Chains A and B, each alone.
Chain A
Amino acid sequence: MNNLTIYLAIGVILFVLGLIAVMTSKNLVKILMGVELILNAAGLNFVAFTRFTTTNLDGQIAALFIIVVAASEAAVALAIILNFYRQRRAIDVNLADSLRG
């Protein structure tokens, strides 16, 4: 039960759920939540591979860098969302069409 496959399965489920959130949601904050789910799935896979297939800790360090990147990504994304809300009074992604030709 407690082996590599079950962790990879949890990672697959988290990844697919995050992808569905990114694809279906019109809400910028919910899209950000989907991205966080995907990053968590990647981190879980890295740590599971570190535990079961290698003897060093490279995967855990990769997961650590994923957390760092996720933190900076969330900060910048929230700043963009706040700016967008200030201009459009809503955060529906369909309103972000200023660059449409």
Chain B
Amino acid sequence: MNVASSLFAQILFVVFALLTVVSAAVVVFSPRIIHSAFGLLFTFCGVAALYVFLYADFLAVTQLLIYVGGILILIIFGLLLTQRVMDSKYFEQSHQRIAAGVLGVVLAGVLFGVVLATPWTQAPRPDTPTTEIIGVSLLTQYLIPFEMASMLLLVALIGAVWLARTKRGHHE
């Protein structure tokens, strides 16, 4: 039986899709930066739930671990170190609002048109677990990109530490 076609799953899907889109809107339009950070939390969780609906089990867990557990914590640390988040009178400044809004609406219209007008080939994948296939192909077909990704992470780690460290003689 196809799990994704039952009524309960459909309701759950709509809930998670709305959660993703609404919290992404909160991220963009909230005047308080800390609200944006918490909106981002719900967007990441919503995208992880959508990955579950797409039978990408390994990727859903990875999304939760890396995005929610890593990147979001990093962003919140950056906020707490650089912003007056506790100051209730402080609001975000924004600029180019009208131009960005018009461009965004036009671009969204064009992209929706393309999505609806293109005859996508439909060849659904069988609903099998993905972890084993991903693991095998990362160590065979995608071995070089896999190693490049590990080098990229190492370089980014060392670079981030070097950039963020307080330079000697520049203490204030």
- List the B side residues contacting A21 at CB < 8 Å: 27-28
Contact of A33 among B13, B25, B37 (CB under 8 A): B37
- In the complex, the chain A residue whose C-beta lies closest to that of B155 is A72
Q: A50-B56, A60-B56 are in contact. Are A74 and B115 (CB under 8 A)?
A: no
State which size class the interface on A falls in: 35 or more
Is B86 an interface position by the 8 A CB rule? no
Is B8 an interface position by the 8 A CB rule? no
Is A23 an interface position by the 8 A CB rule? yes
Chain A 25-59 per-residue mask, 1 if CB under 8 angstroms from chain B, else 0: 11101101110110010011001101111111100
Closest CB-CB distance, B161 to chain A, in whole Å?
Answer: 8
Asked whether B10 lies within 8 Å of A2 as measured between CB atoms, the reply is yes
B94-113 interface with A by 8 A CB criterion: 94-97, 99-101, 103-104, 107-108, 111-112
Asked whether B43 lies within 8 Å of A37 as measured between CB atoms, the reply is yes
- List the B side residues contacting A18 at CB < 8 Å: 24, 28
Docked pose: A34 CA to B5 CA in angstroms: 33
Asked whether A47 lies within 8 Å of B56 as measured between CB atoms, the reply is yes
Contact of A37 among B24, B83, B115 (CB under 8 A): B24
- List the A side residues contacting B149 at CB < 8 Å: 65, 68-69
- List the A side residues contacting B172 at CB < 8 Å: 86
Contact of B44 among A29, A40, A51, A91 (CB under 8 A): A40
- Name B residues whose Cβ lies closer than 8 Å to a Cβ of A: 4-5, 9-10, 13-14, 17, 20-21, 24-25, 27-28, 33, 36-37, 40, 43-44, 47, 50-51, 53-56, 58-59, 62-63, 66-67, 70-71, 74-75, 77-79, 81-83, 92-97, 99-101, 103-104, 107-108, 111-112, 115-116, 120-126, 130, 133-134, 137-138, 142, 145, 149, 152-153, 155-157, 159-164, 166, 170, 172
